[in-house]
Structure 1
Amino acid sequence: MSGTQGVAGGGDFRPRVEKLLADILGLMGFPARLDLQDAADGSLSVALHFESGAPPGVEPGKRGQVLDSLQFLLNKMLHRPGVERRWVILGAGAHPEPRPRRDAPAQAPASAPAASVAQVAASTPAPQPARAAAPAPAAQPQQRNARGGQPAQGAAKPAQAQAPVKGAEADERTLQVEEDPAFREAVRKLAEKSASLGRFYAFAAMKTEDRARVLKAVEGVGGVKVAAEGEGRNRRVVFTPAKPAPMPKRSLLPDDDEDDVDA
């Protein structure tokens, strides 16, 4: 494979983050001034100061689905296979607080004294001798009805509970959710943009209710198909234009060049 793979924490990492964020926010129509600083947990913190107001669903100093989706997309574009990862966290109007790592081991309280082997052995109850297995109860004769004919219906086999089907996803189109006018208008504009430009878009890391709002908001918009795909945490809403158009080379984002293709 031609080309070289860099390190996420290298000297070109900050310029790449600034370039990608500027391109994405420019395409969204919400340019912002970026304030980058190193976080205490080793990640790169970015405060987004929007120049002409924040996008719908983004509130300064608070987390939200729009900001989480933008952060997810940015880290996906930065972290390529075989490259050391350094996460980027985003905040609206201020730097976000670092989130606790999921792989951090739980520490025992410092005030709890360590128990000795002798104390543990003394506190462990002695094993009880095994008891002889009780004889199986005799089979009860089937109860017959008053006329002495067939067994009564009450003696039928107990019904078995049906286990829920794993991996089944709820149909968002059938959910009844409260409509958000600002959210609906933003989603319809994105659907119209996908149809007119022939571009693919997707919403990730959304709640089931928000996916239902997206699917209801795009009803009646022609030239684009919008559907929920995937399962669990990977479920997303995809905008597929009826007439896809190729991306011009001048608008390709970094790392999308031909150097990454096997010769």
Structure 2
Amino acid sequence: MSDVQAPGSSPAPAGGADIRPRVERLLTDILGMMGFPARLDFKDASDGSLSVALHFQGEPPPGVEPGKRSQVVDSLQFLLNKMLHRPGNERRFLLVGAGVHPEPRSERLKREQAAAQATAAAAPAPQPVPPAAAPAPRPQQPKPARGPQAAAPQAKAPAPQARGASESDERSVEVAEDAALREVARKLAEKSASLGRFYALVTLKQDDRARVLKAVEGVPGVKVSCEGEGRNRRVVFTPEKPAPLPKRSMLPDDDDEDDLEG
């Protein structure tokens, strides 16, 4: 998209592949389809990787805050590294940050270890604990009476509610309508039905998930539901007639995810 701009970048360091053109093209397409155009700022990281800061032109995606990590930015970084690192090609990893250049993982670990050591050194030495006195003997409880005069057993306390039960069905939540969210949700549902593609909305609060479910009621050719628990709960768009992805859009088979963490 023409809304995504990349300033003039310096050549890649020796021994690293210059992936800036591909990164610019891929991020242009992805952010353009998401509806959140941004200006790209490239920088060579200290560990040899390529860092790119996303300066969004307008409001950032939901759940994204400048200078902080989020599921949306981490997912973009993972997806781009998968698309860039084809088998047999020279690898140069990509770091993605919102508004700032992310700190390389090696430097972040060193900083956290140094902070932990400084905290441990500043902590006062633990005071010796005096030996505890022997507990007093417990008085013997009278035996319960037998027969018809025996006391009735106490009622069992109700079992605690299972985690996530309150969010098991967003359709029962009463919320006020959000016109902007309703329009976006219906367009996404219609797109899922017409293209046969699966989509998911993440980092939404329970009220917003309920608004999305109510907004897409009546859209033919797609089923919309909520899946997952806690912070991983998401709204999933499932088309009735899924369409296979073209081969050129499929990701490679290698799954070395640990190397892709920034």
Structure 2 length normalisation: TM-score?
0.64
Q: Which amino acid aligns with 1:44?
A: S
Greater fraction helix: 2
- The aligned counterpart of 1:35 is 41
- 1:69–1:203 CA contact under 8 A, matched in 2: no
Q: Which amino acid aligns with 1:160?
A: A
Q: Which amino acid aligns with 1:73?
A: S
Cα 1:167/1:184, change in 2 over 3 Å: closer
| Unaligned 5+ runs, structure 1 | 1-8, 143-148
| SS of structure 2 residue aligned to 1:193 | helix
Cα 1:235/1:136, change in 2 over 3 Å: same
| Alignment partners' CA distance in 2, 1:155 and 1:241 | 57
Q: Cα distance, 1:113 vs. partner?
A: 7.5
Cα 1:58/1:164, change in 2 over 3 Å: same
| Alignment partners' CA distance in 2, 1:34 and 1:125 | 58
- The aligned counterpart of 1:5 is none
- The aligned counterpart of 2:7 is none
Residue of structure 2 aligned with 1:104, choices 112, 118, 131: 112
Percent identity at matched positions?
49
Residue of structure 2 aligned with 1:63, choices 57, 62, 65: 65
Residue of structure 2 aligned with 1:134, choices 117, 121, 138: 138
* 1:150-165 paired onto structure 2 within 5 Å: 150-151=148-149, 155-165=152-162
- The aligned counterpart of 2:182 is 184
Q: Cα distance, 1:69 vs. partner?
A: 5.5
- 2:16–2:92 CA contact under 8 A, matched in 1: no
Q: Which amino acid aligns with 1:71?
A: V
Count of residues paired in the alignment:
224
Q: Cα distance, 1:29 vs. partner?
A: 4.9
Cα 1:162/1:112, change in 2 over 3 Å: same
| Alignment partners' CA distance in 2, 1:133 and 1:86 | 67
- 2:203–2:234 CA contact under 8 A, matched in 1: yes
Q: Which amino acid aligns with 1:235?
A: R
| SS of structure 1 residue aligned to 2:149 | coil
- The aligned counterpart of 1:89 is 97
Q: Do residues 207 (structure 1) and 205 (structure 2) align?
A: yes
| Alignment partners' CA distance in 2, 1:97 and 1:74 | 13
| SS of structure 2 residue aligned to 1:247 | coil
The worse-fitting range, judged by mean Cα deviation, of 123-132 and 103-112 is: 103-112
Cα 1:139/1:260, change in 2 over 3 Å: closer
Q: Which amino acid aligns with 1:104?
A: E
| Alignment partners' CA distance in 2, 1:29 and 1:140 | 72
- 1:20–1:74 CA contact under 8 A, matched in 2: no
| Larger RCO, structure (CA 8 Å, separation 6 or more) | 1
Q: Which amino acid aligns with 2:228?
A: G
Larger radius of gyration: 1
| Alignment partners' CA distance in 1, 2:50 and 2:230 | 26
| Alignment partners' CA distance in 2, 1:182 and 1:240 | 22
| SS of structure 2 residue aligned to 1:104 | helix
| Alignment partners' CA distance in 2, 1:70 and 1:136 | 62
Q: Do residues 47 (structure 1) and 44 (structure 2) align?
A: no
- 1:226–1:240 CA contact under 8 A, matched in 2: yes
- 2:38–2:54 CA contact under 8 A, matched in 1: no
Cα 1:249/1:126, change in 2 over 3 Å: closer
